[in-house]
Structure 1
């Protein structure tokens, strides 16, 4: 007899979505290069330097012995850290997935640079920039996703859970505390809580209404009769 296959666990198909994950990585990688392209073109025009594809896909321009190399390092750090952190918060919005996406973006950039130049990057400034960019992206995106997850959820024009809490808070605020002088005076006058005249007793003077035997000690007062 053929063995029956076990049905998938509820929600398993929603947890494992390789096509959606691949699409999100592709979108983030395109944003990574698009923002870098805009920043590199802008800085090249301002600095009066010629623009080339090597500035985008190469590693030789990121170096620590000249001003242009420091400027390119700052461009990649701004792109990979701040811009990618904002993109991950908007597109992913899950703090536990932030390290996977942030590190994947920088790893794919390493692969692209290696394939384009046909050699691994040999400048320590390039490696330092990529490590700092990936670490900053993980930290900023994790903080942003957690801040977004902790925001109140609005449903039907109000915050979920705020209606019951507000009503109970208002009820507690409107009712006098048990040991207040107003409530004690009403009980002595024969008025119960909320204007109830039936409850016509007060606690005795034995410390919070407790007698020696631990039971309540009460004395009757005159009750009002309706005319």
Structure 2
């Protein structure tokens, strides 16, 4: 049975996509912290992996989620998989935070930040993927008769 974009289990593709998304998330947050250091903040690694939410980390993490939403549309290219990748990204972030601090985060504001960040990443990624998926497929090399 053939279908459009049939799914083939490729673990190396999934792992490489997840590593790419995770790397983009942490590079964006790190870049924003370094950019913020020009205004007197001294960036440290514990800010990224803190189990307590701060205003600075909230802004950086939500911005990182927006960048990851764009990355999902480029790397994953499937609206159906955006929720899976966004939740996996934040699950791995939770594991790294627990391993870094040797304690589980119990602060409600930290959990709310993670939920907000996951929602932003998922909805943004799905929106961009659906926009790309709904573009007109051109069958000819020339311009479409519907182009103005």
Aligned to 2:73: 89
**Aligned in 2, Cα 1:19/1:143: closer, same or farther, shift over 3 Å?**
same
Runs of at least 5 residues in structure 1 that lack an aligned partner in the other structure: 1-8, 63-68, 167-227
Aligned to 1:75: 60
Aligned to 1:32: 25
Match of residue 107, structure 1, among 91, 95, 98: 91
SS in 1 for 2:60: helix
The CA deviation at 1:158 is 3.3
Relative to its length, the structure with more helix (as a share) is 2
User: What TM-score, normalized to structure 1?
Assistant: 0.58
SS in 2 for 1:54: helix
Aligned to 1:205: none
The CA deviation at 1:58 is 2.0
Tell me how far apart the structure 1 counterparts of residues 125 and 7 of structure 2 sit (CA, whole Å).
Answer: 23
Match of residue 41, structure 1, among 34, 47, 52: 34
SS in 1 for 2:103: coil
Cα RMSD after superposing both structures: 2.1
The one of the two structures with greater contact order (alpha-carbon pairs below 8 A, sep at least 6) is 2
The CA deviation at 1:10 is 6.5
Tell me how far apart the structure 2 counterparts of residues 24 and 17 of structure 1 sit (CA, whole Å).
Answer: 11
Tell me how far apart the structure 1 counterparts of residues 73 and 118 of structure 2 sit (CA, whole Å).
Answer: 15
Tell me how far apart the structure 2 counterparts of residues 40 and 125 of structure 1 sit (CA, whole Å).
Answer: 20
Aligned to 2:45: 53
Aligned to 1:185: none
SS in 1 for 2:36: helix
The CA deviation at 1:19 is 0.9
Tell me how far apart the structure 1 counterparts of residues 85 and 123 of structure 2 sit (CA, whole Å).
Answer: 12
Aligned to 1:142: 126
Aligned to 1:128: 112
Aligned to 2:15: 22
Tell me how far apart the structure 2 counterparts of residues 78 and 152 of structure 1 sit (CA, whole Å).
Answer: 30
Runs of at least 5 residues in structure 2 that lack an aligned partner in the other structure: none
5 Å-filtered alignment, 1:143-162, equals: 143-158=127-142
